[in-house]
Amino acid sequence: MNTAMHVLPYLVAVYVFLTGCYGLATSRNLIHAVGCLAVCQSATYVLLLAVGYRDGATAPVFSDIEPGSRPVVDPVVQALTLTDIVVGATVTALLLALVLQIAKRHGTVDPDELRELRG
Amino acid sequence: MNRLRLWLLAVGGAGLAALLVAACLDLPAFGGRWHPYGDRAVQASLDRHIANTIASVNFDQRAYDTLGEISILFAAVLGCVVLLREARDEHRAPPEPAEVARPVRRYALLVLPVALVTGLYVIAHGQLSPGGGFQGGVVAATALHLLYLGADYGALERVRPLGVYEASDSLAVCAYLVLGLAGVLAGTAFLANTLLPYGTFNTLSSGGTVPLLNAAVGMEVASAVVVLLAHFLDQAVEIEEEHGS
């Protein structure tokens, strides 16, 4: 494989992350912003899984393959990705609950209209 | 103002992109053979008779981190419950029974038991096959919500006594802690998987405390998702603002 293929998955992660950042910065709607944050976080899944990949390897589960018979991908980053997904889901839930309260108290979900704090 | 902001974003984004790409070029090549941590994790997992290495990493090698993870989940659910409570200027109106298209009703009620059993299967086989407490918990919890699609909100509320799920959420976190402390009392270390025999490789009872921790996490995630969705659905379906207040 050439060099481009060796970095392409990492560059995909960078691309996804920057796309999410762009969305976050230009968002006109808080729900959309929460979605953009989830996009940023997806970049970390791509990066972690890309770091753990090994050519021609299979999943690190030995219920149906003989240990040592085939190379397996790195299980540590896969477990980290699982943690990442769980934390991402909880953060999304909490942020959406906050957005719901903002929408109720201020009558808007446009961050630009939330200039002054109201009690 | 807006144009200035976009320029700032463009400059910052270009700088960040350049740095990230430079960092990527320095990373080990994609698909390489050198994974020292992965190889050691696989060896440790096989030593303790756990077929699914990811379950071994989560519930044995990094069990303490998973305690932090389920605490985050627990705290987030608590936060959502507080944020989405019924405010003083709101009241609860029981939703009208809704008409459901017959095919939707039929297939939702057909898939519900299948999805529920699948979720429980995924939890129970966490240390053997892909899946585990986190994944199976979400499947089992969402299976219940097929009742909302297939029947109506009232039907879902009848099979979902929230208090029970809130209690089982906390009980599951306590169970994880107690399993950890059992190691301390037995003279090893907190959450060290040296308490129970490792059993026969690739059977349901293999892996020492891993299946138990996995079950606790499955119970916690299932209850947490049910409680979380219940509060969001309450906001959408039941809680209304008082008019003229």
Domains held by chain A: number: 1
> What CATH number is given to the structural domain containing A16?
1.10.287.3510
With H, G, I as helix, E, B as strand and everything else as coil, classify residue A113.
Answer: helix
Closest Cα in chain A, distance from residue B204 (Å): 11
Interchain CB distance below 8 Å, A10 and B129: no
- Give the pLDDT confidence score for residue A116 in this predicted structure: 63
| pLDDT range class, residue B244, cuts 50, 70, 90 | very low
Q: Taking CB atoms and an 8 Å cut-off, how many pairs form between chains A and B?
A: 152
Q: In angstroms, rounded to a whole number, what is the distance separating the alpha carbons of residues B241 and A45?
A: 40
| pLDDT range class, residue B243, cuts 50, 70, 90 | low
Kind of pairing between the strands at B239-241 and B90-92? antiparallel
Among the residue ranges A20-24, B107-111, B236-240, the one predicted with the least confidence is B236-240
Query: Which of A28, A46, A72, A94 best tests the B interface by mutation, with the highest count of B CBs <10 A?
Result: A94
Which ranges in chain A belong to alpha helices (H)?
A: 3-26, 30-52, 75-106
Q: In angstroms, rounded to a whole number, what is the distance separating the alpha carbons of residues A77 and B94?
A: 46
Query: Which of A44, A83, A92 best tests the B interface by mutation, with the highest count of B CBs <10 A?
Result: A83
- Pair of tokens at residue B199: 């059993």
What is the domain extent for residue A41? Answer: 3-113
pTM: 0.89
Which residues have C-beta within 8 Å of that of residue B90, sequence separation ≥ 6?
A: B239, B240, B241, B242
CB contacts of B83 in chain A (<8 Å) are: 94, 97-98, 100-101
pLDDT 10s digits, A76-99: 999 999 999 999 999 999 999 999
pLDDT 10s digits, A31-50: 999 999 999 999 999 999 99
- Give the pLDDT confidence score for residue A1 in this predicted structure: 54
- Give the pLDDT confidence score for residue B245 in this predicted structure: 42
Residue A118 lies in a domain: no
| pLDDT range class, residue B16, cuts 50, 70, 90 | very high
Does A4 have pLDDT greater than 70? yes
CB contacts of B13 in chain A (<8 Å) are: 18, 21-22
- Pair of tokens at residue B88: 């003083």
Query: Mean pLDDT score of chain B, rounded to an integer?
Result: 90
Angle of helix A75-106 relative to helix B133-144, nearest 10 degrees, comes to 40
CA nearest neighbour of A52 among A72, A36, A23: A72
Residue A119 lies in a domain: no
C-alpha atoms less than 13 angstroms from C-alpha of B22 in its C-beta half-sphere: 6
Query: Which of B21, B30, B33, B220 best tests the A interface by mutation, with the highest count of A CBs <10 A?
Result: B30
Q: In angstroms, rounded to a whole number, what is the distance separating the alpha carbons of residues B227 and B160?
A: 9
CB contacts of A54 in chain B (<8 Å) are: 31-33, 35, 38
Which candidate from A14, A50, A53 shows the least CB-CB separation from B20? A14
Residue A80 lies in a domain: yes
Torsion sign across C-alpha atoms B38, B139, B236, B101: positive
Which candidate from B24, B46, B232 shows the least CB-CB separation from A10? B24
ipTM attached to this prediction: 0.87
